[in-house]
Amino acid sequence: MASRRGTSAGYNISVGGSRRRDDWDEERAYIKSLAKAGSTWWIEYVPPDDLDKMRACITREPLRID
């Protein structure tokens, strides 16, 4: 974005599509590396096939890196 427009200001970069790792410290490190590369949003994959699994993912709330 910045190389084409001169800046990435005003844009959000979203990355995601995978399930949260069991090791949350490892997951935080991965998400921090994405943020360092310029990503502003991480979207966790929530499996649509099982309502109980979906509720469990939503109940545990976002994994914060700050």
Assigned domain for 34 exists: yes
Assigned domain for 50 exists: yes
Assigned domain for 5 exists: no
pTM equals 0.69
Mean pLDDT on 29-35? 91
Taking 80 as the threshold, does the pLDDT of residue 8 lie above it?
no
Assigned domain for 52 exists: yes
Residue spans of beta strands (DSSP E) within 1-66: 14-18, 41-44
State the pLDDT at residue 1: 67
**Up-side HSE of residue 18: CA atoms within 13 Å toward CB?**
7
pLDDT in tens, 45-58: 888 888 998 888 88
Assigned domain for 49 exists: yes
Domain of 53, in residue numbers: 11-59
Assigned domain for 1 exists: no
Taking 70 as the threshold, does the pLDDT of residue 36 lie above it?
yes
